[in-house]
Structure 1
Amino acid sequence: MIKAIRTAPLACALLSTTSLVIPVVARAQAEPAAASEADSGGDIIVTAQRRSESLQKVPLSINVLGEQKLKEQNVASFDDYAKILPSVSFQSFGPSQSQIFFRGVSSGGDGLHIGPLPTSSMYIDDIPVTTIGGTVDFHVYDIARIEALAGPQGTLFGASSLSGVLRLITNKPDPTAFSASVDAEANKFSKGDFGGSLEGYVNIPLSETMALRVSGFYKKDGGYIDNIPGTRTFTLDDGPPVPDTPENANDPGNTATNKTVTNAALVKDDYNDVETYGGRAALGIDLDGNWSVTPSIIYQHQKANGGFLYDPKKGYLKVTDYLPSSNKDEWYQAALTITGKLSDWDVTYAGGYFGRKVDNRPDYSYYSVAYDTYTYTSSGSRYHGYATYFPDPNNPGEFLDPTQNAILKDKYTKFTQELRIASPSDKPFRLTAGAFMQIQTDKIFADYNVKGFGSVVSPIWLPQFADGSDTMFRTRIKRKDQDYAVFAQAEYDIVPDVTLIAGMRGFMSHNTISGFSGTATARNCLISTPSTDPAVPCHNVDKASDESGMIYKAGVKYQMTPDVMVYATVSRGYRPGGNNRRPGVNPFKSDTLDNYEVGWKTRFGPVTLNGAAFYEKWKKLQFGLVPLGQNGVTNTYNAGDARIYGIEGDIAARFGGLILSAAGTYVDAKLTTDFCQVDPVTKNIVCNPGDPPAAPKRTRLPIMPRFKGDATARYEVPVGSGKAFAQGTVSHQGGTRSFLTDADFAAVGPTKAFTTVDFSIGINWDHYRVSAFLDNAFSSHGVLSLNSVCATQICGQYSRAYPTTPQMFGIKLGYDY
């Protein structure tokens, strides 16, 4: 009964951004906070190919959001920057519960703890921080830039970069000058509560060759979803008599009566508030002019209360929850980067250790509601899932409230090591090569409880665990994924304006899962090893999978003029396979994505126009599905093949004080083979002639809208010694298919297109900054995704909507030292 995080969410996109609206970032140092990005006028320096080079020269579709751009768009969290990356889509249950996708490469079944690895990855500087179950919601402050790389990036970034890579580049310690800043914000949702934040950083030169940079923040987000009063009545398995069989020997049959429960104790307005705090420290040491060492540490703590999806049946931004909900996410990353030169070659070592603890308590009660209606088959035999009646040991003749409570905990670790070399960038032949290793683990703790169940006097139809807890279903699984790789990517100028590109990555993966998952019934331990842990009766999961292979990249770049470049590339990304915990269910294999892309980077006077057209073939796509009769347990399958084609681009220009920019992406993503049904006995995918497929050929892939785009107009004007501005941004995204299979989609339905508009005004003078903003100014009721808290096959009729945040007004103050 692992919760399947399978939303049909928001989609965004990933396009290259022009140097007219992004500041120059040289040697990873940010522009002065008071300077406008449009004032830089020069090239943007990026490290998307593991070497410093101009954005306009990189043969890759890449969007760069500089520090000033992030401030102008009021970006603080993942949802904020995903909104302005049109090739990026995501699925989410709320803060710290999101999965990133590029160009529609999503089956809707990603983000499972025991299932596929993510299709895209997030890096902080040179260290990956994407965990097995999802992406951290990194607070954006004191960040030099965000680089979003669309398409498979496997040769340089490896596994989990199947669809793309999102890189957050931090500001580095600067020994040349002292600097500091403090920022404060107060805000309020029009249909919700107050919030605000306090942020600051300081850069302290310790000597001519050493500096310390420290930043910290506290942020409180007000709630905007109301938990309204409600009651529900459980029928407690009223229905046909239970057959007199050995399996049902302890089943009292049709003797239960109805049980009515209320949520009166949890009724509250604006109950989904969030508190986030943390900080970062980095020490930069220049050893001899050629070698430098930078140790760093990042810590972040986030506590989200309530749920972030509302129930359309109850009304806009309203729910009726019967259990308290929360999500606590705490993580840190310790990293060490060493850079230097051997002769005229650059050498880089990047190593990191990442630890993350997640404690998720969703309102899982709709699982109980669903099973209260799914008790019997047409033959009159009991459905082999949970029944919902349990005698109350303290009140003879009465029954327990069967509302089921989910306690979901994960402890993640990620240990990474990379060593790479790069030849001089001013030579006709340029090579980047290296070796990489990654070991990541997830200790999965899941208990599904009914209060009082552990005190029920045996015999009852479902045995209790030996520890006397109220747990009905339990998971204690350790997952370990190991990746090892060597890689190389080269460029060769066959003539000064024409460059050939070639790359490869050889990889090996070894993935294991072990532990226990199931109820306390004896059949769950028929093939197992004994356990000394009183919490579990045995170890019934012990599986491993190994894979190895090679992927590639090739292409050509033509610099037609100093301001016009075109390119064509073909590349392959991969994602390792893994293991299913259910006995008899086959392991799933790796999937691959072949990308064929042509692109252009152009500048015509004050106008910059960049873009790319692409065609992608996704083979053996991995898909998480919960077959009926599995108590909500998810299996992962290689569902079939898909194709994706689209076009993405952006344009920007500056005319005096007026800055105009727009970006958009169109994606068409569909299956090219039938996704067949799950065999009810073996629980494996079987294609039987005459049986309708679960998702037929040409079914649209979920999550990504066909079109998403945004446009911004900003006007800046001198006012005395300062500069005032006014800005407006319009964002639009089309509707999405919520789930891949026809049954899931029919149960939940599609999302609809929506448009939001944001405004801001402000003034900067001397060291001061003051601004005001109005987000979602016209109160769009857009839905980013539709989802259910348990598997859609069980709870689809109780699905909920993840909304755009409602209208918000805020004031920001800043001071730069």
Structure 2
Amino acid sequence: MRSKLVRDRMVPVLLATTMFAAPGTAFAQQEPQASGDTADAEIIVTANRREENLQDVPISVTAIGEAKLDQAQVASFDDYAKLLPSVSFQSFGPSQSQIFFRGVASGGDGLHIGPLPTSSLYLDEIPVTTIFGSVDVHIYDIARVEALAGPQGTLFGASSLSGTLRIITNQPSTSGFSGNIDVQGNKFGKGDFGGSVESYINVPLSDRAALRVVGFYEKQGGYIDNIAQTRTFTLDDGDPTTNVVVNNSALVENDYNDVETYGGRAALKIDLDDSWTATPQLIYQHQVAHGGFLYDPRKGDLNVTDSLPSVNKDRWYQAALTIQGKISDWDLTYAGGYFSRKVNNRPDYSYYSVAYDSYTYVDDNGVTQFGYATYYPDGKGGFLDPTQNAILGDTYTKITNELRISSPSDRRMRLTAGLFMQRQTDAVRADYEVQGTGAADFSPWLSPFPGTDSVYTTRVKRIDRDYAAFAQGEFDLTDALTVIGGLRYYRYNNTIFGFSGPNTGSNLATCLTTTPYKTGPCVNVDKRSKDDGFIWKGSVKYQVTPDVMVYGTVSRGYRPGGNNRRPGVDPFKADTLDNYELGWKTRFSNVTFNGAVFYEKWKDLQYSLVPVGQNGQTNTYNAGDARIYGIEGEISARWGGLILSAGATYVDAQLTTDFCQVDPITKNIVCVPAQAPAAAKGTRLPVTPKFKGNATARYEFPLGASQGFVQGVVNHQGGTRSFLTDADFAAVGATRAFTTFDFSAGLHWDQFRLEAFIQNAFDKRGALSLNSVCVTQICGQYSRIYPVKPQLFGLKAGYDF
């Protein structure tokens, strides 16, 4: 039987202030308030693949409930990421972010043909992790966001190396008809106007069936200006009479980085009988982001000088089916889905051409040669504009099936076991074009492929297959002491096939076959990487009192290995993360204080870079080992209508072995005693700040016939190292610490809600990450800043029915 302390536990309203709820989250769900909170007395999560009170789960979990998501004006990933102290990310803009937990980041993740992410993203029961850029799910009618820090490989598998982020939608209910509509208008302080319209409706079709339909439209105004610039290309030929002058006058525009997002969700719940329920669901989202979301500080605040039109078009849908029922008194769950995503991206790639305009190299005889990287005769006695376009496209698919069974939760011994399979593909289509080269004279640098303007092309099909069997059990040794153990057998089989490279004789000579792959000239990539093994988890949970629980965990996560497209470059191996964690979850009167300390060992970390002399072609290597230690926690309290809460994470992450150099012959990593490493032992891991935290103060009060509130939030994060290797870091530099403030106030009466807010009230220009549009060795000097959103004013009105 279950622990008596847990079974007999009284769970008052204050229990909603649980461990790792984002500041204000738990209190916001205690009782009906003007903010639209629920009357639920506890936060229920499924971090262990069964419903449990968050305060009883011996895992570091941040659960941001629906009320808090609404209170914080959360609509996208950037909005809720700032509420998660253990989460950091790199980004190029909407739908182009890579997510990291607890500092497990190398700065070389998330490339189109490279390693899988270190963390996984789930939408309900189905993983939607893709290789480059996480899906930026519009947050509306969402029950909660769960952030599971640390390896979650036993129950969640591949790409849960550092953690798992779960978005849980509200499900159809037969309890009654309901719905709402929310309308928002906003404006960036010095930027453009935006707004959104969102609505859902829940319709009981019978006492055994219900339909829930959600729709939304959002337009985000721009805040980055593309200003005028003239460039003079020397063509790298030493002759000033051949210079080419170009300008961007046709693209000059204020507030040019606008975003349009629309989509919806439909879910049907059918109670097949008293024990079995089927829930098919379809989700669709369409997003178009114009312009760039990184600004160039050399050109002024929130300014850029783009020479090419930029757009990122992201469309995706997920068709899912969940079937839940009982076999005897055991719970059986099947979750299956098909996910499809198409991304077309055209960044401003012009700085690549600028960097190569003075490109020289030393040949095998030690003689310096001109590169002629921008020298393109037009066939009419002149020269073409050498600005190179990047036309990128990915078509992702993912088929997922999972079957698991769980024993009754009130037994002394509890077990969850299952089978998992996943097949995900990425059809990569990339062209790097210099307009007009197809009809021009031969270039001494790179010639286009016949019939095109593309001087470098990629047409590859990547298939990643994952299979697993897993089990996790819990056993109550006493009423207070529980031991937990988990094991997962995994097997992956990853392939890559197609063509990638420039139109050069040496590159075409590597072709394995002349049979065209779609529009590629031949096949020069045909590789396979496969492996299998076990990962594990062991925990001890001790319920000191009904209000104090401590736990200790040792666990391992993994990320599958993969293939390099470059001929002669070895595949990269799976990397693993061993986690040693001590945590506590406590409640004293009206104060909840919870936390965890952790130490993690990252072995064979995967890192992607472009070795010199490989025409910008990226390889992925196992760079070495690293260690991470830190502490995370939150404290929350409520006195009447006053709610105070704070949360923070401190992380110290660094290499424990040298990351050596790339051998110029084999293109693989080698360590040479007399040669300085690319990054030495003790080098800080990139992207993640050492400290990230936030705090919230909220006061709720009656005002006549209505309920009112005022709220203030402060967010702070420290500076970061931008890249792992010393050369990349020297080219780009570090980000600095920053602090932002958000304020809001509103009223709630009857079924109406009205709220005004200001985010980043003092318009601080915090840098979330630094990136360059092409490889750092080439474009690092032109790196740009991905900033926190600038000052944003908004007014939101809602009606519940």
The bucket for the TM-score relative to the shorter chain is: over 0.9
Alignment pair present for 1:576 and 2:560? yes
Secondary structure in structure 1 of the residue aligned to 2:477: strand
Instruction: For 1:658, give the aligned amino acid.
Output: L
Alignment pair present for 1:317 and 2:302? yes
- Cα contact 2:376–2:443 (8 A) shared by 1: no
- Cα contact 2:647–2:694 (8 A) shared by 1: yes
Secondary structure in structure 2 of the residue aligned to 1:43: coil
Q: Which residue number corresponds to residue 375 of structure 2?
A: 389
Alignment pair present for 1:353 and 2:338? yes
- Runs of 5+ consecutive residues of structure 1 not aligned to the other structure: 1-13, 240-253
- Cα contact 2:22–2:84 (8 A) shared by 1: no
Secondary structure in structure 2 of the residue aligned to 1:313: helix
Mapped to 2, the partners of 1:33 and 1:748 lie a distance apart of 47
Secondary structure in structure 1 of the residue aligned to 2:761: coil
Q: Which residue number corresponds to residue 6 of structure 2?
A: none
Q: Which residue number corresponds to residue 9 of structure 2?
A: none
Alignment pair present for 1:409 and 2:393? yes
Per the alignment, do residues 120 and 259 of structure 1 end up closer, same or farther by CA in structure 2, a change over 3 Å counting? same
- Name whichever of 596-605 and 373-382 sits farther off: 373-382
2:661 is aligned, of 651, 673, 677, to 677
Alpha-carbon shift at residue 416 of structure 1 (Å): 0.1
2:362 is aligned, of 377, 385, 396, to 377
Alignment pair present for 1:150 and 2:141? no
Alignment pair present for 1:543 and 2:522? no
- Cα contact 1:20–1:654 (8 A) shared by 2: no
Alignment pair present for 1:500 and 2:483? yes
- Cα contact 1:18–1:651 (8 A) shared by 2: no
- Cα contact 1:512–1:544 (8 A) shared by 2: yes
Mapped to 2, the partners of 1:802 and 1:35 lie a distance apart of 32
Alpha-carbon shift at residue 536 of structure 1 (Å): 2.4
Q: Which residue number corresponds to residue 172 of structure 1?
A: 171
Q: Which residue number corresponds to residue 20 of structure 2?
A: 16
> Cα deviation per residue 1:185-233 (whole Å; 9 max; x = unaligned)?
0000011000000000000000010000000000000000000011111
Mapped to 2, the partners of 1:390 and 1:41 lie a distance apart of 68
Mapped to 2, the partners of 1:339 and 1:721 lie a distance apart of 44
Count of aligned positions:
781
1:330 is aligned, of 315, 323, 341, to 315
Instruction: For 1:726, give the aligned amino acid.
Output: V
Mapped to 2, the partners of 1:15 and 1:109 lie a distance apart of 32
Q: Which residue number corresponds to residue 90 of structure 2?
A: 91
Mapped to 2, the partners of 1:69 and 1:660 lie a distance apart of 13
Instruction: For 2:330, give the aligned amino acid.
Output: W
- Cα contact 1:15–1:87 (8 A) shared by 2: no
Per the alignment, do residues 24 and 46 of structure 1 end up closer, same or farther by CA in structure 2, a change over 3 Å counting? farther
Q: Which residue number corresponds to residue 764 of structure 1?
A: 748
Q: Which residue number corresponds to residue 110 of structure 1?
A: 109
Q: Which residue number corresponds to residue 611 of structure 1?
A: 595
- Cα contact 1:24–1:44 (8 A) shared by 2: no
1:170-319 equivalence runs, <5 A: 170-239=169-238, 257-319=242-304
- Cα contact 1:20–1:41 (8 A) shared by 2: no
Instruction: For 1:130, give the aligned amino acid.
Output: T
- Cα contact 2:192–2:255 (8 A) shared by 1: yes
Alpha-carbon shift at residue 515 of structure 1 (Å): 0.2
Alpha-carbon shift at residue 256 of structure 1 (Å): 7.0
Alpha-carbon shift at residue 69 of structure 1 (Å): 0.5
Mapped to 2, the partners of 1:704 and 1:144 lie a distance apart of 28
Secondary structure in structure 2 of the residue aligned to 1:539: coil
Secondary structure in structure 1 of the residue aligned to 2:351: helix
> Cα deviation per residue 1:779-806 (whole Å; 9 max; x = unaligned)?
1111111110000011000000001111
1:421 is aligned, of 405, 408, 417, to 405
Mapped to 1, the partners of 2:378 and 2:368 lie a distance apart of 25
> Cα deviation per residue 1:585-638 (whole Å; 9 max; x = unaligned)?
111000000000000010111111111000000000000011111111110000
> Cα deviation per residue 1:253-308 (whole Å; 9 max; x = unaligned)?
x6971111101111000000000000000000011111000000000000000000
Secondary structure in structure 2 of the residue aligned to 1:290: coil
- Cα contact 2:375–2:444 (8 A) shared by 1: no
Per the alignment, do residues 767 and 551 of structure 1 end up closer, same or farther by CA in structure 2, a change over 3 Å counting? same
1:340-489 equivalence runs, <5 A: 340-377=325-362, 379-382=366-369, 387-393=373-379, 395-396=380-381, 398-458=382-442, 461-466=445-450, 468-489=451-472
1:511-530 equivalence runs, <5 A: 511-527=494-510, 528-530=512-514
> Cα deviation per residue 1:87-119 (whole Å; 9 max; x = unaligned)?
000100000000110000000000011111000
Mapped to 2, the partners of 1:545 and 1:31 lie a distance apart of 53
Mapped to 2, the partners of 1:66 and 1:588 lie a distance apart of 39
Alpha-carbon shift at residue 23 of structure 1 (Å): 7.2
1:651-730 equivalence runs, <5 A: 651-730=635-714
Alpha-carbon shift at residue 681 of structure 1 (Å): 1.7
Q: Which residue number corresponds to residue 158 of structure 2?
A: 159
Instruction: For 2:228, give the aligned amino acid.
Output: P
1:747-762 equivalence runs, <5 A: 747-762=731-746
Secondary structure in structure 2 of the residue aligned to 1:71: helix
Alpha-carbon shift at residue 690 of structure 1 (Å): 1.2
Instruction: For 1:22, give the aligned amino acid.
Output: A
1:633 is aligned, of 605, 611, 617, to 617
Instruction: For 2:106, give the aligned amino acid.
Output: S
Instruction: For 2:26, give the aligned amino acid.
Output: I
- Cα contact 1:747–1:797 (8 A) shared by 2: yes
Q: Which residue number corresponds to residue 491 of structure 1?
A: 474
Mapped to 2, the partners of 1:348 and 1:36 lie a distance apart of 32
Mapped to 2, the partners of 1:533 and 1:497 lie a distance apart of 62
Mapped to 2, the partners of 1:222 and 1:326 lie a distance apart of 15
- Cα contact 1:15–1:663 (8 A) shared by 2: no
- Cα contact 1:15–1:664 (8 A) shared by 2: no
Per the alignment, do residues 530 and 256 of structure 1 end up closer, same or farther by CA in structure 2, a change over 3 Å counting? farther
Secondary structure in structure 2 of the residue aligned to 1:538: coil
Per the alignment, do residues 614 and 565 of structure 1 end up closer, same or farther by CA in structure 2, a change over 3 Å counting? same
Instruction: Give the TM-score of the pair, scaled to structure 2.
Output: 0.95
Mapped to 2, the partners of 1:284 and 1:167 lie a distance apart of 21
Mapped to 1, the partners of 2:31 and 2:226 lie a distance apart of 45
Alpha-carbon shift at residue 380 of structure 1 (Å): 4.0
Secondary structure in structure 2 of the residue aligned to 1:133: coil
Alpha-carbon RMSD across the aligned residues, in angstroms, is: 1.7
> Cα deviation per residue 1:118-175 (whole Å; 9 max; x = unaligned)?
0001111100001122210000000011110000000000000000000111000001
Instruction: For 2:194, give the aligned amino acid.
Output: G
Alpha-carbon shift at residue 682 of structure 1 (Å): 1.5
- Cα contact 1:20–1:608 (8 A) shared by 2: no
Mapped to 1, the partners of 2:34 and 2:127 lie a distance apart of 31
- Cα contact 2:24–2:696 (8 A) shared by 1: no
Secondary structure in structure 2 of the residue aligned to 1:639: strand
Mapped to 2, the partners of 1:325 and 1:458 lie a distance apart of 29
Per the alignment, do residues 444 and 603 of structure 1 end up closer, same or farther by CA in structure 2, a change over 3 Å counting? same
Instruction: Give the TM-score of the pair, scaled to structure 1.
Output: 0.94
Alpha-carbon shift at residue 463 of structure 1 (Å): 3.3
- Cα contact 1:747–1:796 (8 A) shared by 2: yes
Secondary structure in structure 2 of the residue aligned to 1:551: strand
Mapped to 1, the partners of 2:90 and 2:493 lie a distance apart of 28
Mapped to 2, the partners of 1:274 and 1:584 lie a distance apart of 42
Q: Which residue number corresponds to residue 8 of structure 2?
A: none
